[in-house]
Structure 1
């Protein structure tokens, strides 16, 4: 079966009211003014919404803001949600003024996300609410404004304990915008763009736009849209004039023939720009610029996912929404860095687990060329935790789902709508009815993309009709059942691994001997990546093999791309089976699942995926080569490569070449569906060699010629610090970040793989210290401080730019180590 979707999409930028080069609207929103100067206080004062409340003593904060990430870590909180204070009641207040002229316009506030159970007040009057913290919403301020006087916008949040299976954060954690618009306007999400025709180098672009008149006065309106290509040249313009009665809407349909098009693709994410302009009585009142991309998507039961006519294997990751040491507070650069690291591993697809992502996530994926599975819910009517989304599902599911689709349907990166993850209705006889209802909503809002869901039960959803209620079947953790599942579903059904592996490990930790069980007493999991931990999990090798056996599948989404706060499996609990607190193995409080740790530092497993998902020659070797007291004893050495063969050298002596796919590595395996024993992996190369201090070197060959190499040296005692910034020049906008890795090194500059020195950071000049981290799942040190203990030789410093150009000076020091310095330049 072939599903064909030809989609022309636009990526909405954060502010609707942007000026064109030559034409400016009469009124525009001041985004910056509504990010700064908020007042915050925990607790629940009875008069929190009142204009008479004296709030001079409240704390000043900038938005986005996550109060929970500030800590403290404490065992009285739930390790499942990071051991942080994600629940309680708190208030935000914002004082602002509008002129008499502005008050005559249409004035709204738009929240990209408020975590959660939010109630909005203006000047003491309740004007809105939203329980779901992951979905944006707009509130009309116009009827309650006091022109020329102080206005008070107040937001009460009441996130509950036991409301999430991972760290949710707490607060106004996504961006907020004040929008001052002419009453004649395109509303939020009022533009929908498709391509009914794409052929060769031509496309027909269909833009459907809603123009509304929120006043009671009729208006003479001129509306036009101009499209510019990736180089900025105008390629098409269409306009029309019409009379728009008061309190009415006009739906405008425009079709643009485009020639010599540049398609949006994974390797070439070309973005065009559509600029729509509204004039009323000859005056420009709104101008909206929107980047977009042109591409076609198809899904085939035999060829899999087809992008722009070419089959593409989905090499995907699932990602939760937190940004590690920054918490849930949205930041564009931190989001971009995460996805750049994922791309370097070979990732081309993202699953937004298990909720609507921030707009920044989709903007980043649009610009980097990463396709997205956009997911709505982790719960429907049956809850996994006592205070989860199931409490509001009946009232809010349709609004939340429709809003997600309307918000995201114009992004070229989005290719599927997921209506749920591991939904407990899978076990219900009539659960399929809910799935069908949600799938129908998706098709109603956007018939250009298929629906999907992640199913982890067997055989329930395949027998009771739930899997048949979605267009594409996502399978969680069932590689040994792929054949059975395919045989149970109708011919032509399309499948993929929607959540795979769930391997756990700690960066730089190696336990010997290599055994089936993790060493609970250490609080960590070995990076030999054979001990899975949870019963449903399995090594990546198992999924690699299963995907090879089913080339018709779309691909896989591993759990997860980055370690995240909360859910410290295999410590503390058992996923859906464990309600309540996960504190039995405190202080384990963050995830072990990913090939990249909480700080963004790569674990060994990163290179195992890279060896399967990339083509540029690479080779990786593990473990470290500091085994004092193990001299002469045998150490297992693993190598990962995308080349044909690898040769190992220890202190210059060759231990022979191994051929990938031929020389197999036996690894201990035990998981549900696989009897305890060993698995012969064709994806790893291995040797067992006697330990002697010195160096470990691997050379990769293809066609008999060396194409890549890597060397590890035995380090001496810690002697200094090396600082490496991901970017040495950033933008002076008060939001840009530089991520600086501090590595403890010996006198010769070799990394010390087990160093745990405490490093202090001094930051001065044109920026400030934002956070520190080290990737240790058991560390309960605060993130908002100027010192951090190294975890297996590394820790991380994050600096934020100010708004003045100049230089950010960084100094790192620790007793007994030589001091290190680096600088970051900032410019407009």
Structure 2
């Protein structure tokens, strides 16, 4: 009898979990949309015939498919802010046509969902968007970088077909200063919860007010809705370690005021012994699983969120500390787009970039000048990247979508922005804007001071654990005297200067409480703009545009920015190794960069152009050249075909540190080699050789764990090689790609920012001997075969299996 009773109690204990093991349904709506480029009358109506439309999957950027628009003859395609110069504005927006795209999708909500709560969740629609359900407009966005949801509980026809239609509009050329892309560029989900008890949008707020290696406090707050007549809310909290083991599990009763149906509640305050701390080198993540229980003990709703235990500190004395240790921001400021993929927010494309940045010593990303996707922040959490999370550009209606006044946006955008991102340990600073303090005619006519104060006050309603800043325009000092910082700088927690690091010493003397961060630094001054800062006291820097990108062209035929250290196909340029020598001083580096030409591009009165360099040894016989050897070693000896042409010491002066100039180097076919030494010992080598003619194509994939989830990517780099397998940089053959198996080609790219080729389709020319084709998985596992062919070379075939 005793055994039967124990068995009965055990069964009763697990019944609630069996009855409702997954109470919250999150259903991806990313697949099988019908799409049409261009406006169409009546496209929102349920009975509209879309059978002739294209079938696409989200994320999707319809603008990347548009042809290039060249400036008319004699017209200057500069980067002027003049709204009237449409063609010039197109240079900023990637020489693409502006326009409208329509998306339609049929869904049949399960009849059992009636009585529950059903939400449509859009992470973003670029640049502005409208959402229709069965012909009725139910929501939309006027600033496409920020997500939103729509409660459609009472609007759906359960057990029947419903039509979701989305109108996406890139607006006018002057409504952004960079290439934005267009369309459903981020995830779309349908969420079903209990109708009476549930967690609201972005409900958790997880903070770690006390952090040490011995002990940490984790505080969890949640916003919940309850429409029942009950005295207490019963909430279970579990903390899982990185391996999925529960390190904390407790259920508590929280007093509930029935007059406040939706409210925020302190769920738990947890003390953890010997916590594993999140850092750039060891980005350890815990998971909080918070469950809202019904009065009968069954599960009403459950949410979970990754978080890290870490402390951050800022001070004029040391800049920034993470977990009590000084850390310098070694960063990048780039736009959100992803090369050949445009604005489509593929997690794997972001991961590839973050892995590349980590490899070269970066530990920081500034999200210029808008929120990136949630998946981006998840990856920064995973890889230990410090993020300055930025909301806006200039606080001007013109650059904030252009459909409604900016004054109408920030009250809704800030809560969404902060609540979505505040639990990410990677986010260590908020930025509310960029280069706006030069505008007197901002709201309230005081150079942005009052708008900042208003926004900061609202921001602090949702998070007080990080400082708040705005990045300053390089020309925007005090309007009465250029010797003083702009008034807005004195309002911000961190003094963020774009390019003007040379003001730090003087401003520190006059205003000793200021904390300095170089929110943009230029490639042309790379080295000095790092070493000339007081690294013991500044927060650090973010180099602008380290990865070349579409948009913000300095003139046709360039389709975008070309001053990065990585080209648009993610191939490192020689100068990338100079940056690596700075950012990774503990790792010996040496690399040869041969000067081909100078670029004197000026941007915002700042010289951003760099010397164009290459690192191949196929030159004109008898020619001579100048080159750099980039190194963090003590000295470099340069050899041509084994014969030394000299030894040069590495200067410690900021302007020449880690870049050793060699002039009058005479070319001889064979090889040139740089040998770096420290304390008399060889620590690094770089050798480049004269190659013979290209003989074959070689294919290399980048994703060994390619998933059959319909979204994962495989980047395949195709390289022309000679008979010894060496890359032939002079090869510029036209390639054709063919795919067999459950995948599709979503992008083709090489490093040539001036190419007339589109980044979609199945053809691409080699550039410097290489090109990349990007494959998107379908939702079936199996073998995928990619074939790359070209005239005159042995073709290549790559077989990849998806899991």
Superposed pair shares fold, TM > 0.5: yes
Say if 2:593 is the partner of 1:622. Answer: yes
* Preserved CA contact (<8 Å) 1:725 1:741: yes
Q: For residues 678-827 of structure 1, what are the structure 2 equivalents within 5 Å?
A: 681-688=656-663, 689-827=665-803
* Preserved CA contact (<8 Å) 2:170 2:181: no
SS of 1:143's partner is: coil
Q: For residues 345-744 of structure 1, what are the structure 2 equivalents within 5 Å?
A: 345-381=360-396, 383=398, 388=401, 391-425=404-438, 430-431=446-447, 432-456=449-473, 457-460=475-478, 462-488=484-510, 490-501=511-522, 503=523, 538-547=524-533, 549=534, 551-568=536-553, 571-572=554-555, 586-614=556-584, 615-623=586-594, 624=614, 630-661=620-651, 681-688=656-663, 689-744=665-720
Say if 2:289 is the partner of 1:275. Answer: yes
**What are the Cα deviations for residues 259-313 of structure 1, in whole angstroms up to 9, with x where unaligned?**
1100000000000111111222322132222211100000111211100000001
Say if 2:143 is the partner of 1:132. Answer: yes
SS of 1:482's partner is: helix
**What are the Cα deviations for residues 310-369 of structure 1, in whole angstroms up to 9, with x where unaligned?**
000110101211111011111111110011101111000000000011101100000000
* Preserved CA contact (<8 Å) 2:520 2:543: yes
* Preserved CA contact (<8 Å) 1:417 1:442: no
Which sits farther off after the overlay, 555-564 or 117-126? 117-126
Q: For residues 232-271 of structure 1, what are the structure 2 equivalents within 5 Å?
A: 232-241=244-253, 245=258, 248-253=261-266, 254-271=268-285
Alpha-carbon RMSD = 2.3
Which sits farther off after the overlay, 255-264 or 724-733? 724-733
Name the CA distance, whole Å, in 1 between partners of 2:791 and 2:470: 53
SS of 1:436's partner is: helix
Larger RCO: Structure 1 or Structure 2 (Cα < 8 Å, ≥ 6 residues apart)?
1
SS of 1:339's partner is: helix
Say if 2:25 is the partner of 1:29. Answer: yes
* Preserved CA contact (<8 Å) 1:439 1:469: no
Cα offset, 1:146, TM superposition: 1.2
Q: How does the TM-score come out when normalised to structure 2? A: 0.87
The corresponding residue for 2:601 is none
**What are the Cα deviations for residues 563-621 of structure 1, in whole angstroms up to 9, with x where unaligned?**
111111xx22xxxxxxxxxxxxx221111121111111111121111001112222111
Name the CA distance, whole Å, in 2 between partners of 1:118 and 1:216: 36
* Preserved CA contact (<8 Å) 2:617 2:671: no
* Preserved CA contact (<8 Å) 1:26 1:285: no
**What are the Cα deviations for residues 20-79 of structure 1, in whole angstroms up to 9, with x where unaligned?**
9978546443533x1112122233333222223222222222111111111222227723
* Preserved CA contact (<8 Å) 2:131 2:139: yes
Cα offset, 1:627, TM superposition: 6.8
The correspondence for 1:42, drawn from 12, 16, 37, is 37
The corresponding residue for 1:532 is none
The corresponding residue for 1:223 is 235
Name the CA distance, whole Å, in 1 between partners of 2:775 and 2:164: 31
* Preserved CA contact (<8 Å) 1:106 1:142: yes
Name the CA distance, whole Å, in 2 between partners of 1:775 and 1:128: 40
The corresponding residue for 1:529 is none
1:46 to 1:247, Cα distance in 2 relative to 1, 3 A? farther
SS of 1:212's partner is: strand
Cα offset, 1:240, TM superposition: 2.5
The correspondence for 1:64, drawn from 36, 59, 63, is 59
Name the CA distance, whole Å, in 1 between partners of 2:712 and 2:130: 30
Cα offset, 1:464, TM superposition: 4.7
Name the CA distance, whole Å, in 2 between partners of 1:94 and 1:810: 31
Cα offset, 1:644, TM superposition: 1.9
SS of 1:402's partner is: helix
Name the CA distance, whole Å, in 2 between partners of 1:760 and 1:463: 55
Name the CA distance, whole Å, in 2 between partners of 1:790 and 1:169: 25
Name the CA distance, whole Å, in 1 between partners of 2:218 and 2:53: 51
Which sits farther off after the overlay, 20-29 or 743-752? 20-29
Which sits farther off after the overlay, 453-462 or 54-63? 453-462
The corresponding residue for 1:334 is 349
Which sits farther off after the overlay, 637-646 or 69-78? 69-78
Q: For residues 306-325 of structure 1, what are the structure 2 equivalents within 5 Å?
A: 306-325=321-340
Cα offset, 1:485, TM superposition: 3.2
Name the CA distance, whole Å, in 2 between partners of 1:450 and 1:240: 33
**What are the Cα deviations for residues 193-216 of structure 1, in whole angstroms up to 9, with x where unaligned?**
112222332111110111103x57
Q: For residues 89-104 of structure 1, what are the structure 2 equivalents within 5 Å?
A: 89-104=100-115
Which sits farther off after the overlay, 204-213 or 728-737? 728-737
Name the CA distance, whole Å, in 2 between partners of 1:782 and 1:240: 58
1:278 to 1:468, Cα distance in 2 relative to 1, 3 A? same
Cα offset, 1:223, TM superposition: 1.5
The corresponding residue for 1:583 is none
Cα offset, 1:812, TM superposition: 1.9
Cα offset, 1:372, TM superposition: 0.2
1:25 to 1:801, Cα distance in 2 relative to 1, 3 A? same
The correspondence for 1:343, drawn from 358, 378, 382, is 358
* Preserved CA contact (<8 Å) 2:225 2:263: yes
Cα offset, 1:430, TM superposition: 0.9
Name the CA distance, whole Å, in 2 between partners of 1:103 and 1:587: 56
Name the CA distance, whole Å, in 1 between partners of 2:64 and 2:730: 27
1:188 to 1:782, Cα distance in 2 relative to 1, 3 A? same
How many pairs does the alignment contain? 736
1:336 to 1:628, Cα distance in 2 relative to 1, 3 A? closer
The correspondence for 1:74, drawn from 69, 77, 90, is 69
1:616 to 1:21, Cα distance in 2 relative to 1, 3 A? farther
Name the CA distance, whole Å, in 1 between partners of 2:57 and 2:132: 19
Name the CA distance, whole Å, in 1 between partners of 2:568 and 2:621: 33
Which sits farther off after the overlay, 111-120 or 238-247? 238-247
* Preserved CA contact (<8 Å) 1:182 1:286: yes
Cα offset, 1:779, TM superposition: 1.0
The corresponding residue for 2:132 is 121
Name the CA distance, whole Å, in 1 between partners of 2:716 and 2:668: 33
* Preserved CA contact (<8 Å) 2:421 2:427: yes
Name the CA distance, whole Å, in 1 between partners of 2:618 and 2:590: 26
1:269 to 1:712, Cα distance in 2 relative to 1, 3 A? same
The corresponding residue for 1:515 is none
Say if 2:186 is the partner of 1:174. Answer: yes
Cα offset, 1:236, TM superposition: 1.4
Name the CA distance, whole Å, in 2 between partners of 1:221 and 1:378: 42
